[in-house]
C-alpha cells in the first residue's frame, strides 16, 4: 500500500534504522562517508520525505512494519520533492562534509547493471530504500516489502534493481530471490553490491 503521510517520529525511526545499522566486523559501509551516524539519519530522513512527497513510498500494511521506495527508471522526482533530500543532506552536515560524502558516493563508478540495461534500452524498476522498523526486524517483513516491488516488476514486465552497502544485506536480498549483478568499490573502501530480480515471466 502507498504511504500517504508519515509523522516526524516515524520518519526518524526509518532514519535511525539506517544510521545505526550494525555492520559486520571489518565492513565499512557508506556510513563512513558521513560525518556521524546522526548525519546519516538526517540524510535518510530527507530521502524519505522526498519519496513520500513524490508518491514513491510504500509499506507492508496498516501497522507500517516495513517500507520500500521504488520508481520506474524513467520517472522523475519533482523539484519540490528533491528539495526535501537537499534539506536532509545539510541538516546534519556542513557544506564541505556534503561535498566529501557525494565524492565518495560517486567514486564507485556508475552502476554496471543499470548501464547494461540502459544500453539494451531496457526499462527497469529502481528500489532506492528498503527498511524494516527496528521493532519488527527478524519477522519476515523484508520479504514482504520486497514482494511489493517484485509484484510491480512482474506487472510491468520490468526487472527490479537495487544496491546496498553491506554484504549481509546483499546475502539477504539474494536469499529472497535477487541475483548479485556486480560489486563496486568506493574510494574510502566501502562497497556497493548491485542486485537484480528479473520478472517471473522471463525466467
* DSSP collapsed to 3 states, 52-105: HHCCCEEECCCCCCEEEEEEECCCCCCHHHHHHHHHHHHHCCCHHHHHHHHHHH
The predicted pLDDT at position 203 comes to: 46
Specify whether the CB–CB gap between 1 and 32 falls below 8 A. no
| Domains observed in the chain | 8-197 (3.40.630.30)
Quick check: helix, strand or coil at residue 194? strand
pLDDT bin (cut points 50, 70, 90) of residue 193 is: very high
Q: Rounded to two decimals, what is the model's pTM?
A: 0.90
**Among 31-35, 95-99, 109-113, 174-178, the least confident range:** 109-113
Reported confidence tier of residue 109, pLDDT bands at 50, 70, 90:
low
Of 27-36, 131-140, 147-156, give the lowest mean pLDDT range. Answer: 27-36
Amino acid at each position: 500500500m502507498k504511504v500517504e503521510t508519515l509523522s516526524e517520529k516515524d520518519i526518524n525511526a526509518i532514519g535511525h534504522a539506517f544510521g545505526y545499522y550494525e555492520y559486520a566486523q571489518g565492513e565499512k559501509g557508506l556510513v563512513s562517508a558521513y560525518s556521524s551516524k546522526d548525519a546519516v539519519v538526517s540524510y535518510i530522513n530527507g530521502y524519505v520525505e522526498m519519496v513520500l512527497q513524490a508518491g514513491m513510498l510504500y509499506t507492508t500494511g496498516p501497522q507500517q512494519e516495513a517500507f520500500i521506495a521504488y520508481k520506474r527508471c524513467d520517472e522523475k522526482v519533482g523539484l519540490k520533492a528533491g528539495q526535501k533530500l537537499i534539506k536532509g543532506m545539510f541538516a546534519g552536515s556542513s557544506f564541505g562534509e556534503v561535498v566529501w560524502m557525494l565524492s565518495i558516493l560517486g567514486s564507485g563508478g556508475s552502476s554496471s547493471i543499470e548501464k547494461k540495461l540502459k544500453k539494451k534500452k531496457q526499462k527497469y524498476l529502481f528500489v532506492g530504500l528498503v527498511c524494516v522498523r527496528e521493532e519488527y526486524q527478524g519477522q519476515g517483513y523484508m520479504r514482504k516489502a520486497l514482494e511489493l516491488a517484485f509484484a510491480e516488476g512482474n506487472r510491468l514486465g520490468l526487472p527490479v534493481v537495487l544496491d546496498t552497502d553491506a554484504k549481509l544485506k546483499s546475502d539477504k536480498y539474494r536469499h529472497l530471490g535477487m541475483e548479485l549483478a556486480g560489486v563496486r568499490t568506493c574510494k574510502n573502501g566501502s562497497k556497493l553490491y548491485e542486485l537484480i530480480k528479473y520478472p517471473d515471466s522471463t525466467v
